[in-house]
C-alpha cells in the first residue's frame, strides 16, 4: 500500500471512529468490486450483479490547478469531500430508506461526478485547495443548475465547444495562408463549409479554415459513412485529463468539423441561434439539485465542506431563466415568424402528397435497374429519363450537381430537378412534417429506428386503420454522459403515421437491394456519386432543410443595413415551439384550414395542452410576448380583452398614443446628436431602454403573472353541418389579486 493510500485509510478510520452513529460503511462497501474500497484512489462501483447496468470506474489520481495531486496529504480533506459527494447518493439511509433500482443509482453517481467535475474545472476560481467548498456561492450553484437544465452536460459542465475552440486556435495558429491554399487545392472539401449559423465553435471563418487544415494534416479526421469526422479522443484526453469523467463525455458531431460536400444556399440566411438546442428541463434541474442537497448531509453528518446552507438551497427561478434569454446577446434566439413556418408546412404536405411516392418509387426503380453495374452518371441520367417518360413529372436527370461546392442554378433546379435533389427536398419536407408535430430535438429525429418508430406497426393507408391512435417512438436526447437513452412514444395524427409508413417501406426496399450501409436508422441519406445510402447526419439534414427552403422559395427578409435579401432557413430546434406558436397566430381561415388538415382527427384543445406541457416555460412566455407585442404594434383588436392591456400601458406611460420602435431605430434616430456630443442620456441608453420600454414592461407583466394570453376553443357549426373548432385569443389581466375580464 502506497503512502497516499495509507494516509487516506488512516483518515477514513479516524472518521469512522468519530462518527460511529452512522454505521453506513458496510452499506457503502457493498458497491465496491475488483478489490477496490473507499480508501483507494481508484474505484470500481457495481450497482447490481445481475443487471446490465455497467460498472462505474472513477480515478481520483488527478492534478489540481496549483500543480498538486488530489492524492497529496495536504488535499486529503478535499479528496474525502469529493468521495462523499459521489458515494452518499447510493446509500438508502440518505434516500428515504428506499432501495433504488440499479439504473437510478448509476445515474445518481453520474450526476454526482458531473458536480465534482464542475467544481474541479472551476477549482482555481473557488480556491478549493485552501477553502474547500466555502467560496461556492448561491449564485454559482444557481448558474450550475441553470446550465444543466438547459444545455447538454458536455456544454453546461465541460464547456466542450468553448474549450475546443480555444484548443484549435492555439494549435492551428502556426498554419500559414500558403499552407491553407495548398491543402485546399489537394483536398477541396476542406473549403466546403456548412452555413455559419449552424456552427457551434467560436471561430471566425479564417480560423475555422486553418483549424480544418491543421486537423487534416495531423490525422484528426476519420472516415465514416462517406464523411470525414473529427476524432475527439486526443483532445478529450488532453483537456479533461484532470477530471473524473471528462475524457468519457459523448458529444454530437459538430457540423463545422465534418468534411463533406454540401449544397450552397441560394440566399444568405436570416440569423438563427447556434446548433445547441436550448430548452429548460425542470426534472433534470431537480435531479441535480438533489445531488447538491446531499452536501447538507455531508456537512451535518460527516465532514464540513464549507459550503453555506444558502448555496446548498439555491435553485433557479423564472426570472433567472428569462434573464438568460434576454442577456444572451448576439446568439439570442431569433424566431421564425409563425406564418412563415405555417406556409412551409402547407408546401411540405402538398409536396409529400404530390411527389412523395413518385420520388421514392423512381429511386428504387433506377437503382434496381442499374445494379450491379459500377456507378455511371450518364447511364443513370438515361435510366432516369426512361423511367420518367412513363409517368408524369418534371425530373430530368440523376442530379443537377456538377463540381464539389459549386453554386448551381436554383431556377433551373425548380423547373427541371434531378431525382437526387427531389429526394433531398423530400427528406427535408418529411422531417419537417414529423418535426413540427413532435417538437423534438434534431438528434431524436435522426435517431428514429425503422424497426419500431411507428406504433402500432399497421398500415395507416388502410380504411380500417383510419381511426387507429398512432404513436411515434423515439429515444430521448442524451444527457452527454454516454449512457443509454429512455425510449418514449407520443401521439401523432394520421398524416404523420403515413409519412413514417412510407419511409419504412422505402427503407425495406433499399435493404432488399443491398444499398444501405446501416439498416437501423429510418431516414437515409443518398450519396450522389454512388448508389449507397447512409444514416442521415446533422449536416445532411440541415442541407436537406436548406434545399427544401430554396425549392419552396420560403420567405426572404431585406437586411435593414446592407439591403441584401436573406432567406428564412429553418432548423429543427425552431420547430419545437412551432405548434405553440400556431395556436397563438393561426386566427385566419387559411391558417386554420392547414392546421385542421394537419391534425386530422386529433382534438386541438388536447393537443394544445400536450404541447404547452412539453415546451419550456420561458419559450412559451416568449411566444406570448411576441404575439402581444405584434398586437400592440399593429393596434390589433382580434385579441379578446386587449383593451385592458392598453389601459395598463396608458397608466404606465401616460399616453394612449403608443408607437413601438426597435431600440436600433431609436439609436439610429439619435445617432447624429450622440456622435457629436450634443446629447447624453443619464442613465445610459441601455438602462433607460430596459426600464421604460413597452416591450420590457409587457414581458414583466407576463413573467410575474399579471397578464396572460390563452387560446379559447369554440365549437361552431360549419355550412356542411359538421362541427368546427375555432380558436380565439383572450388576454387575462389580474387586478388587485382577482382575475380581470375575459
Which of the pair, 323 or 681, is modelled with greater confidence? 681
Mean pLDDT calculated for residue range 547-551: 94
- Give the pairing of strands 524-526 and 487-491: unpaired
What helix, strand, coil percent values describe the chain, rounded to 5?
Answer: 50, 10, 35
pLDDT at 7 over 50: no
Mean pLDDT calculated for residue range 109-114: 96
pLDDT digits (tens, 9 = 90+) for 653-675: 766 666 655 555 555 555 556 55
pLDDT at 176 over 50: yes
pLDDT digits (tens, 9 = 90+) for 65-86: 999 999 999 999 999 999 999 9
pLDDT for the residue numbered 328:
35
Note whether 449 and 610 are within 8 A (CB): no
Mean pLDDT calculated for residue range 385-399: 75
pLDDT at 122 over 90: yes
Judged by phi (left if over 0) then psi (alpha if -120 to 50, else beta), residue 2 lies in: beta
Instruction: Report residue 109's pLDDT band, with 50, 70 and 90 as the boundaries.
Output: very high
Claim: this prediction has a pTM higher than 0.85: no
Q: What percent of the chain has pLDDT over 90?
A: 39
Q: To which residue does cell 474545472 refer? A: 121
pLDDT for the residue numbered 61:
97
Note whether 308 and 292 are within 8 A (CB): no
Enclosing H/E stretch for 205: helix 205-217
- Give the list of residues 6+ apart from residue 182 with CB closer than 8 angstroms, or none: none
Phi, psi of 67 (to 5 degrees): 90, -10
Mean pLDDT calculated for residue range 390-415: 71
In whole angstroms, give the CA distance from residue 199 to residue 203: 9
Q: Which of 160-169, 322-331, 456-465 has the lowest mean pLDDT?
A: 322-331
Choose among 287, 297, 284, 244: nearest CA to 88.
297
Which of the pair, 43 or 590, is modelled with greater confidence? 43
Which of the pair, 109 or 8, is modelled with greater confidence? 109
In whole angstroms, give the CA distance from residue 380 to residue 365: 11
Mean pLDDT calculated for residue range 405-417: 75
Which of the pair, 51 or 278, is modelled with greater confidence? 51
Residue positions counted in the chain: 742
pLDDT at 442 over 70: yes
pLDDT at 124 over 90: yes
Mean pLDDT calculated for residue range 299-307: 91
Phi, psi of 717 (to 5 degrees): -85, 125
Note whether 476 and 485 are within 8 A (CB): yes
- Torsion sign, CA atoms 119, 120, 122, 123: positive
pLDDT digits (tens, 9 = 90+) for 479-513: 444 445 667 787 788 889 999 999 999 999 999 99
In whole angstroms, give the CA distance from residue 581 to residue 620: 8
Q: What percent of the chain has pLDDT over 70?
A: 72
| C-alpha triplet 320, 698, 689: angle, nearest 5° | 80
pLDDT for the residue numbered 318:
42
Q: To which residue does cell 459527494 refer? A: 85
pLDDT for the residue numbered 344:
92
In whole angstroms, give the CA distance from residue 546 to residue 84: 50
Instruction: Report residue 38's pLDDT band, with 50, 70 and 90 as the boundaries.
Output: very high
pLDDT for the residue numbered 50:
78
Query: Rounded to whole angstroms, what are the CA distances from 577 to 123, 178, 628, 631?
Result: 38, 46, 16, 20
Q: To which residue does cell 395556436 refer? A: 583
Mean pLDDT calculated for residue range 12-16: 44
Mean pLDDT calculated for residue range 572-585: 69
In whole angstroms, give the CA distance from residue 151 to residue 147: 6
Q: Can you give the residue ranges of every domain in the chain?
A: 3-135+282-323, 160-259, 338-567, 601-739
In whole angstroms, give the CA distance from residue 543 to residue 424: 8
Mean pLDDT calculated for residue range 309-326: 60
pLDDT for the residue numbered 608:
63
The secondary structure of 664-691 as a DSSP string is HHHHHHHHHHHHTTS---SS-HHHHHHH
Note whether 190 and 184 are within 8 A (CB): yes
- Give the list of residues 6+ apart from residue 585 with CB closer than 8 angstroms, or none: 338, 339, 342, 591, 627
pLDDT at 357 over 90: yes
Q: Which three cell numbers stand for residue 669?
A: 434616430
Which of the pair, 532 or 129, is modelled with greater confidence? 129
Most confident option among 431-435, 590-594, 609-613: 431-435
Which of the pair, 633 or 470, is modelled with greater confidence? 470
pLDDT for the residue numbered 194:
84
Mean pLDDT calculated for residue range 626-633: 75
Q: Over the chain, what is the mean pLDDT? A: 79
CB burial class (10 A; 0-12, 13-18, 19+) of residue 671? exposed
Mean pLDDT calculated for residue range 152-157: 93
DSSP state, residue 741: -
In whole angstroms, give the CA distance from residue 651 to residue 198: 44
In whole angstroms, give the CA distance from residue 441 to residue 458: 26
Judged by phi (left if over 0) then psi (alpha if -120 to 50, else beta), residue 624 lies in: alpha
| 381-384 contacts, C-beta under 8 A, 24 or more apart | 384/418, 384/419
In whole angstroms, give the CA distance from residue 480 to residue 569: 27
Note whether 682 and 676 are within 8 A (CB): no
Which of the pair, 372 or 246, is modelled with greater confidence? 246
Most confident option among 158-162, 395-399, 613-617, 708-712: 158-162
Amino acid at each position: 500500500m502506497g503512502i497516499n493510500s495509507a494516509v487516506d485509510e488512516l483518515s477514513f478510520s479516524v472518521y469512522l471512529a468519530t462518527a460511529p452513529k452512522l454505521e453506513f460503511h458496510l452499506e457503502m462497501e457493498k458497491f465496491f468490486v475488483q478489490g477496490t474500497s473507499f480508501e483507494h484512489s481508484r474505484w470500481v462501483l457495481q450497482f447490481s450483479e445481475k443487471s446490465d447496468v455497467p460498472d462505474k470506474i472513477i480515478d481520483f489520481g488527478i492534478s489540481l490547478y496549483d500543480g498538486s495531486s488530489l492524492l497529496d496529504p495536504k488535499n486529503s480533506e478535499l479528496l474525502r469531500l469529493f468521495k462523499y459527494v459521489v458515494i452518499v447518493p447510493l446509500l438508502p439511509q440518505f434516500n428515504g430508506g428506499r432501495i433504488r433500482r440499479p439504473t437510478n443509482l448509476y445515474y445518481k453517481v453520474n450526476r454526482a461526478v458531473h458536480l465534482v467535475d464542475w467544481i474541479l474545472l472551476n477549482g482555481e476560481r473557488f480556491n478549493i485547495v485552501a477553502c474547500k467548498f466555502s467560496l461556492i456561492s448561491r449564485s454559482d450553484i444557481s448558474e450550475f443548475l441553470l446550465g444543466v437544465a438547459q444545455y447538454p452536460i458536455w456544454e453546461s459542465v465541460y464547456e466542450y465547444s468553448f474549450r475546443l475552440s480555444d484548443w484549435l486556435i492555439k494549435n492551428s495558429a502556426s498554419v500559414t495562408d500558403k499552407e491553407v491554399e495548398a491543402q485546399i487545392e489537394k483536398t477541396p472539401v476542406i473549403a466546403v463549409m456548412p452555413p455559419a449559423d449552424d456552427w457551434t465553435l467560436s471561430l471566425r471563418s479564417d480560423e475555422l479554415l486553418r483549424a480544418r487544415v491543421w486537423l487534416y494534416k495531423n490525422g484528426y479526421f476519420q472516415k465514416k459513412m462517406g464523411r470525414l469526422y473529427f476524432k475527439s479522443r486526443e483532445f478529450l484526453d488532453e483537456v479533461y485529463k484532470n477530471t473524473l469523467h471528462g475524457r468519457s463525455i459523448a458529444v454530437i458531431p459538430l457540423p463545422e468539423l465534418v468534411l463533406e460536400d454540401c449544397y450552397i444556399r441560394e440566399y444568405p440566411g436570416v440569423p438563427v441561434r447556434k446548433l445547441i438546442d436550448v430548452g429548460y428541463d425542470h426534472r433534470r434541474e431537480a435531479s441535480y439539485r438533489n445531488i447538491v442537497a446531499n452536501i447538507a448531509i455531508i456537512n451535518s453528518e460527516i465532514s464540513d465542506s464549507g459550503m453555506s446552507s444558502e448555496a446548498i438551497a439555491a435553485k433557479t427561478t423564472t426570472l433567472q431563466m428569462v434573464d438568460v434569454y434576454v442577456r444572451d446577446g448576439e446568439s439570442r434566439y431569433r424566431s421564425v415568424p409563425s406564418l412563415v413556418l405555417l406556409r412551409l408546412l402547407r408546401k411540405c404536405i402538398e409536396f409529400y402528397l404530390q411527389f412523395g411516392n413518385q420520388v421514392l418509387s423512381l429511386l428504387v426503380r433506377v437503382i434496381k435497374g442499374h445494379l450491379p453495374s459500377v456507378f455511371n452518371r450518364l447511364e443513370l441520367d438515361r435510366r432516369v429519363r426512361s423511367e420518367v417518360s412513363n409517368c408524369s413529372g418534371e425530373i430530368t436527370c440523376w442530379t443537377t450537381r456538377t463540381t464539389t461546392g459549386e453554386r448551381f442554378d436554383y431556377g433551373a433546379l425548380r423547373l427541371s430537378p434531378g431525382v437526387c435533389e427531389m429526394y433531398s427536398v423530400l427528406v427535408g419536407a418529411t422531417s419537417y412534417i414529423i418535426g413540427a408535430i413532435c417538437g423534438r430535438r434534431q438528434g431524436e429525429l435522426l435517431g428514429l429506428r425503422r424497426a419500431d418508430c411507428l406504433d402500432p406497426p399497421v398500415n395507416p393507408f388502410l380504411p380500417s386503420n383510419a381511426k387507429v391512435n398512432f404513436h411515434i417512438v423515439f429515444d430521448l436526447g442524451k444527457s452527454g454522459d454516454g449512457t443509454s437513452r429512455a425510449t418514449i412514444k407520443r401521439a401523432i395524427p394520421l398524416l404523420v403515421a403515413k409519412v413514417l409508413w412510407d419511409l419504412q417501406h422505402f427503407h425495406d426496399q433499399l435493404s432488399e437491394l443491398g444499398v444501405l450501409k446501416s439498416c437501423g436508422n429510418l431516414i437515409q441519406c443518398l450519396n450522389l456519386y454512388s448508389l449507397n445510402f447512409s444514416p442521415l447526419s446533422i449536416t445532411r439534414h440541415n442541407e436537406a432543410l436548406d434545399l427544401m427552403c430554396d425549392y419552396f422559395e420560403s420567405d426572404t427578409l431585406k437586411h435593414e443595413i446592407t439591403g441584401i435579401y436573406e432567406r428564412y432557413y429553418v432548423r429543427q430546434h425552431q420547430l419545437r415551439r412551432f405548434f405553440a406558436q400556431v395556436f397563438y397566430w393561426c386566427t385566419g381561415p387559411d391558417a386554420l384550414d392547414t392546421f385542421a388538415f394537419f391534425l386530422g382527427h386529433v382534438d386541438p384543445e388536447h393537443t394544445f395542452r400536450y404541447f404547452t406541457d412539453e415546451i419550456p416555460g420561458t419559450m412559451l412566455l416568449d411566444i406570448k410576448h411576441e404575439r402581444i407585442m405584434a398586437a400592440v404594434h399593429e393596434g390589433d383588436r382580434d385579441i379578446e380583452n386587449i383593451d385592458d392591456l392598453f389601459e395598463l400601458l396608458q397608466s404606465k406611460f401616460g399616453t394612449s398614443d403608443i408607437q413601438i420602435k426597435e431600440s436600433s431605430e431609436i439609436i439610429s434616430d439619435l445617432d447624429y446628436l450622440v456622435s457629436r456630443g450634443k446629447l447624453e442620456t443619464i442613465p445610459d441608453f441601455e438602462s433607460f431602454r430596459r426600464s421604460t420600454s413597452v416591450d420590457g414592461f409587457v414581458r414583466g407583466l407576463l413573467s410575474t403573472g399579471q397578464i396572460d394570453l390563452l387560446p379559447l376553443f369554440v365549437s361552431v357549426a360549419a355550412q356542411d353541418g359538421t362541427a368546427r373548432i375555432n380558436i380565439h385569443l383572450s388576454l387575462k389581466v389580474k387586478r388587485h389579486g382577482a382575475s380581470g375580464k375575459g
